[in-house]
Amino acid sequence: MGASAAPFTGGFLCPTKPRTPPLPSSTSRSSHSRLHFRIRSPKPKNPAAAPVSSRMEASLPQARDAQGGAESAMKLLFVEMGVGYDQHGQDITAAAVRACKDAISSNSIPAFRGGSIPGVNTDQMKLQIKLGVPRSTQHLLDAERVKAVFPYGEIISFEVVDGGMICSSGVCLEAMGDKNDDCYIVNAAVYVGY
CATH assignment at residue 167: 3.30.1330.20
Domains held by the chain: number: 1
What does pTM read for this prediction? 0.65
- Give a yes or no: residue 67 inside a domain: no
- Are β-strands 62-64 and 70-72 bridged in parallel, bridged antiparallel, or unpaired? antiparallel
- Give a yes or no: residue 123 inside a domain: yes
Q: Which domain holds residue 166?
A: 74-193
**Each residue of 42-74: pLDDT tens digit?**
555 554 544 444 444 445 544 444 555 444 578
Residue 168 falls in which region: left (phi positive, over 0), alpha (psi -120 to 50) or beta: beta
CB atoms under 10 Å from CB of 38, counted, come to 4
**Each residue of 80-105: pLDDT tens digit?**
999 999 999 999 999 999 999 999 99
